[in-house]
Copies of this chain bind each other. A is one copy, B any other.
């Protein structure tokens, strides 16, 4: 395969309209001109080709596959995003549901630097078991208070302790102070327990401060960071993933705007394929059964795309979170399998004793996967 193949589900009156709409997409996403106004030869070279149009198994919905020559993209991620959904985002009844990228495009994207196996090594986890992640929260606490929570969670044996993604550079806990205190707290806990908990600071901020912040977290010994691609920019994450030795965990803030049933980009394509291709070793998403409306089927589709072959790229960890109840984690680990990181936040904080609650969670999962 040497072309970019994109699948859209189109909402139209009938198959004929679907075909016309698919053809329009091929023009809109490249030349932005209607058929018949192009200089000779250009349509064949650059306009998207409608490969197939078929029933999508639902009244008034049709699945169209378009293909593009990678020359339409050039060499950067922003233009790839533009080709896939730029202008047609402004139309209606067009949902991007599938994406296959040829080596010419994948080769310009970093993919996960660590991947599932690499993150396991960072956590010194030799067993085939799911990993556990918990969050230091909430925003408003001081750096010292957040560090204390990190210490507590690390002591309990949680594999990854991350910042809440809303922890930026607020006066209550300025970035530099927060990451230093929290990393130190996790290291102290590890030294005491002999564990290998990884602190994952949320690195956000303006484009011009990110470089210094990344350098700081690296210099104090952090091995992984949390980044929100739609907040700091997808290509900014690509740039970070390519340029640092840190493992990247991606947060889905703002992505939900794309997840409409009839128009947008499916969660598995955006969080599974795109977030992985730009360099995420783990991708957080709101699990079914929590406080967000993603279905279990959608979650399983995300898991598949994160782990499936993708050029030569490493597999990435699905990180279901978003209101996962600690008591239900053993159940979900059996559903999603060992190559998963489970993120538990609020439900631990609802318990009277955070350390006890976290320890129970750790033990309940170890028991299932012993």
Chain A interface residues (CB < 8 Å from chain B): 29-34, 37-39, 42, 45-46, 71-79, 81-83, 85-92, 135, 137-141, 145, 164-166, 168-172, 204-209, 228, 230-236, 238-239, 243, 252-260, 263-265, 286, 291-294, 322, 345-346, 349-350
Contacts and interface: CB of A to CB of B under 8 A. Distances in A.
Given A31-B139, A71-B170, 16 more contacts: A31-B138, A33-B349, A34-B350, A37-B350, A46-B140, A74-B168, A78-B168, A78-B204, A79-B169, A81-B231, A83-B166, A91-B293, A233-B233, A233-B235, A236-B236, A257-B265
B71 A172 contact: yes
A205 B76 contact: yes
Contact of A294 (B82, B89, B90, B164): B90
A345 to B, nearest CB: 7
A166 B86 contact: yes
A42 B137 CA distance: 11
Contacts of A286: 90
A87 B92 CA distance: 24
Contacts of A205: 76, 78
A235 to B, nearest CB: 5
Contact of A42 (B140, B204, B294): B140
B30 A81 contact: no
Contact of A89 (B38, B138, B243, B257): B257
A195 B180 CA distance: 58
A323 to B, nearest CB: 9
A46 B137 CA distance: 12
B263 A260 contact: yes
A206 B34 contact: no
B260 A260 contact: yes
A74 B171 contact: yes
Contacts of A38: 138
Contact of A165 (B34, B82, B253): B82
A135 B265 CA distance: 28
A205 B76 CA distance: 5
A204 B171 CA distance: 34
B33 A138 contact: yes
B209 A76 contact: yes
Contacts of A260: 257, 260, 263
A73 B168 CA distance: 8
B85 A254 contact: yes
A238 B258 CA distance: 23
B239 A206 contact: yes
Contacts of A78: 168, 204-206, 228, 231-232
A350 B257 CA distance: 35
Contacts of A140: 30-31, 42, 45-46, 72
B264 A72 contact: no
A37 B30 CA distance: 51
Contacts of A228: 78, 82, 86
A90 B259 contact: yes
28 contacts: A30-B166, A31-B137, A31-B139, A31-B140, A31-B166, A32-B135, A32-B138, A32-B166, A32-B345, A32-B346, A38-B138, A39-B145, A46-B139, A71-B170, A71-B171, A78-B168, A79-B170, A79-B204, A82-B166, A82-B254, A90-B293, A90-B294, A91-B291, A91-B292, A207-B238, A233-B235, A236-B236, A257-B258
